[in-house]
Amino acid sequence: MAATVLDGLKIRDEIQAELAGEIAALKARGITPGLAAVLVGENPASQIYVRSKVKACETLGLYSEKIELPASTTTAELLELVEDLNRRDAIDGILVQLPLPPQIDTRRILEAVDPAKDVDGFHPTNVGRLVAGRAGLVACTPAGIMELLRRYQIPIKGARAVVLGRSDIVGKPMALLLLHQHATVTICHSRTRDLAVVAREGDILVAAMGRPALVTAEFIRPGATVIDVGMNRLSTEDEVRQAFHDPAEALRKLESKGSVLVGDVQPEDARERSGAYTPVPGGVGPLTIAMLMSNTVRAAKLRREALSESRVASSE
């Protein structure tokens, strides 16, 4: 039986259709959720990501601002901008595109964002809420993966889940979200012994280590659900030949486009061995932006509720 392709584009469209109704209801109350995207320097990948996020705002009718700063920006200058955005009522979500230039203290910047506007879900307050299982703004990629699993009715309760990668952005929040849905979770990383053996225990396998085609057939339990978070750009013939068993099509793409995308999972092995898998591209990527939009709408609602409660409390 052929593996099910978990279509991130399809799920993105479902999420955005639902958000359109929520946004229309907010606009009827005179509220237009607003997102500020801050880009420092001229990293080409970051420019593409920010452009995609601003375009998604336009598609859904959200207010957005793209703020571009030179690569020479200091920590103090960026902190001043973040504080200004924290104060502005038209801005419900603040996104500081990573990575930042090396002279900027990334942790100080992320911690300066108002937790109520932290639509990336990176602030320690929101991370703490996630650990405690309390409602809050959750990192977009893991939240998108949970939506994908839910909408494709992949069983989580009681499942063995293995997360490859322990980053603050994907691995750790992914493990917590699965744990809160009653999966038994193992987190692996570069120093895990017998990595393939541990990975093969997973009914659900999430690969987020940033290494092209690392996860081969020996990592995948037959029939497992394989979620590939990786987005690795290959630009040489040798890289393509190492990543693909049959590289002919990928080599044609390399010749015509100059690069080929591959995830952290060997794509042919995922197709042949899994029960369901996410393709690259078209799997997890579209969901990250969809959940950023969802977090922005959620932040707008939560902020208005908090302001309303504060006014009621002050009048009593």
Query: Mind listing the domains of the chain with CATH numbers?
Result: 30-115 (3.40.50.10860), 140-284 (3.40.50.720)
What pLDDT, on the 0 to 100 scale, is given for residue 136? 86
Q: Kindly state the helix (H) or strand (E) to which residue 140 belongs, with its residue range.
A: helix 140-151
The percentage of residues in the chain with a pLDDT greater than 70, rounded to a whole number, is: 97
- For residue range 184-201, list pLDDT tens digits in order: 999 999 999 999 999 999
- Give 310 or 96, the one with higher predicted confidence: 96
What span, in angstroms and rounded, lies between the C-alpha atoms of 97 and 49?
8
Q: Is the pLDDT of residue 212 over 80?
A: yes
Across the chain, the runs of DSSP E, i.e. the strands, are 4-5, 34-40, 63-69, 93-96, 160-164, 184-188, 204-207, 225-228, 232-234, 260-262, 276-277
CB-based contact 136:129 (threshold 8 Å): yes
Q: In the chain, what percentage of residues exceed pLDDT 90? A: 91
Count of all residues that appear for the chain in the document: 316
Predicted local confidence at residue 241, as pLDDT: 96
pLDDT at residue 246 is higher than 60:
yes
Among residues 143, 148, 138, 139, the alpha carbon closest in space to that of 279 is found at 148
Residue 265 gets which letter from DSSP? B
Using CA atoms, how far apart are residues 49 and 285, in angstroms rounded to an integer?
10
77-112 pLDDT, tens digit per residue, is 999 999 999 999 999 999 999 999 999 999 999 999
Judged against a pLDDT cut of 60, whether residue 312 lies above it is answered with no
- Catalytic site positions: 53, 97, 120
On whether the CB atoms of residues 79 and 113 are closer than 8 A, the answer is no
CA pair distance 255, 100, nearest whole angstrom: 32
* Partners of 39 in beta bridges: 68
pLDDT band at 44, cuts 50/70/90?
confident
Question: Is residue 169 predicted with pLDDT exceeding 90?
Answer: yes
State both tokens at 108. 């100080």
CA 283 to CA 135: how far, in whole Å? Answer: 26
- Segment 107-132 shows an average pLDDT of 96
Rg value, the chain, Cα = 20
